[in-house]
Amino acid sequence: MNLTLNQVISEGHTRILCWYLNNTSKVQIARITNIPNWYFERTVFPGERFLFEALPEAQLEVCRSADTGSIVCERILCDRLRVEELSTAD
């Protein structure tokens, strides 16, 4: 049975708002790989930042090509990419 993203997340899971910035000069591919039946993949251009919703335990895998021609990937826990809301004192 295939589940859509909304079905996977709506089953009692708390979504968090996350952001990522590509601060390299290379095009990157960002994807979430550790949540079953969930497909999220995006091309991220140099200097681009984007917002996305994810589960706190999701991992964003970011891959780019290295100067040697190999592919370099890093994984970042989405909870570390959470957007923090600042409170303002009246």
Which one, of 83, 81, 75, lies nearest residue 35 by Cα?
75
Instruction: Quote the pTM value.
Output: 0.76
pLDDT in tens, the chain (90 residues): 334 444 444 555 789 999 999 999 999 999 998 998 888 999 999 999 999 999 999 999 999 998 888 999 999 999 999 998 776 765
Instruction: Give the pLDDT of residue 8.
Output: 46
Give me the pLDDT at residue 75, please: 96
How distant, in Å, are the alpha carbons of 11, 22, 34, 87 from that of 61?
24, 12, 9, 31
